[in-house]
Chains A and B, each alone.
Chain A
Amino acid sequence: MTDPIIRVEGLGKRYRIWHQAERQRYTALRDVIAEKAKKLFSRRQRSEIRDQTSDLRCPTPARASQEDFWALKDVSFEVKQGEVMGIIGRNGAGKSTMLKILSRITEPTEGRVRIKGRVASLLEVGTGFHPELTGRENVFLNGAILGMRRLEIKSKFDEIVTFAEVEQFLDTPVKRYSSGMYVRLAFAVAAHLEPEILIVDEVLAVGDAQFQKKCLGKMQNVAKGGRTVLFVSHNMAAVQALCGCAIHLQGGAIKATGEVELIVNQYIAATSLGENRPLRGPVRIGDSLRLLRLEFNPNPAVSCAPLRFLIEFHTEHAMIISEVQVLFYSAQGVRVAIIDFRACGLPANLEAGHHWRGEGEISSLPFVEGDYQAGLYVKAGNFQGDLLDLASIAIRVRNTNGHVPAPARYRGLIELNFTAQFQASASACCA
């Protein structure tokens, strides 16, 4: 039992980033030919040796500058049989890259991983679901995609359907499902995987609260059954509930590893510095949108006082921004509130190369003092999704006019604005 089931040694993954005037997600042959022709005439010899394997934009355009970006660098750790390991870290710390390497979707640039046993990875709920197919057909398809045998799916079919609570709709195409049903069915298939090693990315944050509880329960059973789980999440409460130990990744390297309480507390302490920390550079959102600024003023803010916010995007191509929401999280990763800009002029139709800036004010921020994280939900162009951990806000206690409030940990997350009157009178009924 003490023999490690996963051993990672000196793992590194490098991406090449090209800085070009016109950046595209893929290369066009047209550009490659044009660049080759240009090079032919200028007869410039390039001395650098390029690594073919991790080259994102294969041919080198002569005038583009390139930059190496190590998504992971020199990462080593071990996971023992039956351990449930949480992987935490900010956006861009390398968590997803690590999971992708462990599930063999992409190759590392250096280092080595040894894995003993069958791996199933769940990086997304409902991968490969086809809207035209019925629920029944999708269960089989999705099962096969996740690596289950046909007989295995057959024997668990009833269990899966019961778990997902979609019995009546089995022969309906899933495009007619409500999003809740869709997600439940997708998760149900995944939950019935029985690999020796399960790799799970932020997928528990789906469905309603009751279903989430069911999923957590299922995950706990998996862990108790002696199987090994690697679990990535921003939800610290879930990590603490499920995992025995954790790894804190920062900037592609391991910052700390050890017992889960310790690591989670360290992580919370490290992310709640409380000053107005600007973004670490523009955050890329999909193909052609960048977030330049997300700031709160004042920061530290005062509980129940006004808070101003500033958000600024840059568009690289013309696009329609249909939804933007600012998401507020507690340090434990519980979503507290959102600001939905659909009421303020969205969707917006933007030209290429525009700055798009919004300012506003929350008249009275009702958060109990403590540290909060802010993220964004964006639906723009072909991108739709959450970006977490973009900024942090520290909230200080308000002036309470003399009375001493209970410690913050007893007061929940929201400061209620209330009035009440009490009257004392002689009671007749209980006499």
Chain B
Amino acid sequence: MNELIIEPGRVELNYWRDLWTYRELFYFLAWRDILVRYKQTVIGVAWAVIRPFLTMIVFTVVFSKIAKLPAPAAVPYPLLVMAAMLPWQFFSTAMSEASNSLIGNANLISKIYFPRLIVPAGSVITSFVDFLITLGLMGIMMIWYGFAPDWRIFLVFPFMFLAFAASFGIGLWLCALNVQYRDFRYIVPFIVQFGLYVSPVGFSSSIVPEKWRVLYSLNPMVGVIDGFRWSLLRGQTALSISALGLSVCGTFVLCASGIRYFRKMERTFADVI
């Protein structure tokens, strides 16, 4: 029989093993969130299609028809936007869901022990379901435009992982901060809105002037979006390795510091929430 020792400052030396022990709870919480998400909505899953689809149309009209931004000749503009909408939509829903996740589960946190990391991780996974649906939409659009991808499409998986890591990292920061300072619930929608304009969702990142490119790539979503476009659209859009490297580093720092901060704050969640 293993012995459990509870002491101040000793937040489970075996935290990561605990995380494994509680994996079932993780499945169940994610499963609950997915079930509940579509239960009392009239058109249910259709929301996951309509939102990105309408945004895509608006962006195509605004950026291509009105602003007349340049795009690679071989790629229809709607596909260019949609390939970016995929990771962006995932990132923004995952981030906002994760940042509210601890507050939303306050009753669990104050009544039951489990590694709190499960909660924001679960909401990122939940958002992944929407992502898969949007991916289907992308597939239909590619057929519609008769645009066949090539071998590069398999490289979308690492970029997916990168999107995961970025949204998880920032989600951890935001949800831990949200417990302490409730102002963050106003900051998150702002980040989402702001991020939509500073990330190359409606336009190609090649229109950003060369001297600003490095600074621009510090935004972890730049690498993710460029990567998605590059791998889904036969490499028709540019993918700068140095910019990608910066994005990967940025994501890693975000993730590592997010976990660190979360673990530090985790001990007092039950007292503060």
Chain A residues with CB under 8 Å of chain B are: 15, 26-30, 32, 53-56, 58, 100-117, 119, 121, 123-124, 127-128, 130, 132-133, 137, 140-141, 144-147, 149-150, 196
Contacts and interface: CB of A to CB of B under 8 A. Distances in A.
A104 B21 CA distance: 15
Contact of B271 (A106, A119, A121, A123): A106
B35 A137 contact: yes
B110 A105 contact: yes
A28 B177 CA distance: 11
Interface residues of B, number: 40
Nearest to A103: B113
B8 A108 contact: yes
Nearest to A12: B8
Contacts of A130: 32, 36
Contacts of B268: 53-56, 106-107
A279 B113 CA distance: 33
B210 interface: no
Nearest to B33: A130
B136 to A, nearest CB: 25
Contacts of B6: 101-102, 104, 107-108, 112-115
Contacts, number: 123
B182 interface: yes
Nearest to B178: A26
B25 A32 contact: no
A133 B270 contact: no
Contacts of B32: 130, 133, 137, 141
Contact of A26 (B27, B35, B180): B180
23 contacts: A26-B182, A26-B272, A28-B182, A54-B271, A56-B271, A58-B180, A103-B113, A106-B268, A106-B270, A108-B6, A113-B4, A115-B3, A115-B4, A121-B112, A127-B111, A132-B36, A132-B40, A133-B32, A133-B36, A140-B28, A141-B32, A145-B108, A196-B1
B17 interface: no
B39 interface: yes
B267 A145 contact: no
Contacts of A28: 181-183
A113 B7 CA distance: 7
B107 interface: yes
Given A108-B8, A115-B6, 12 more contacts: A27-B180, A54-B268, A55-B268, A56-B271, A105-B109, A108-B7, A111-B8, A113-B5, A114-B3, A137-B35, A145-B112, A196-B1
Interface in B167-189: 179-184
Given A121-B113, A124-B111, A128-B108, A116 B5 contact: no
The 5 A-B pairs at the shortest CB distance, nearest first, are namely A104-B113, A144-B28, A113-B6, A29-B181, A29-B183
